[in-house]
Amino acid sequence: MLKKIIRLALTAILVGLIFSGFGMEFTAPEVELSDLQIREKMDEISSRYEVGEELSEEDANFVKEHGVSLSENRCSD
């Protein structure tokens, strides 16, 4: 009987941890994108939005991170 109670308690804890995402915080290794890949992604983002429309968080972060590097590269050409 005690084993059954312990097993149920552990199952409940594990299920709770799985659904809470505990221990799932990790970041993917950063991959260096080529200028062409950055331009293609920027074009893709540009085609999804109208002027003045708010970008998604993911798209906004990409533009913030990579927008400067593209403009710097164009100025140095």
Does a structural domain hold residue 25? Answer: no
For the entire predicted model, the pTM comes to: 0.50
Domain encompassing residue 41: 31-77
Q: Is 33 exposed, middle or buried (0-12, 13-18, 19+ CB in 10 A)?
A: middle
pLDDT digits (tens, 9 = 90+) for 48-73: 999 899 999 999 999 998 887 555 55
Does a structural domain hold residue 42? Answer: yes
Does a structural domain hold residue 65? Answer: yes
Does a structural domain hold residue 4? Answer: no
Does a structural domain hold residue 13? Answer: no
Do the beta carbons of residue 50 and residue 60 sit within 8 Å?
Answer: no
pLDDT of residue 29: 60
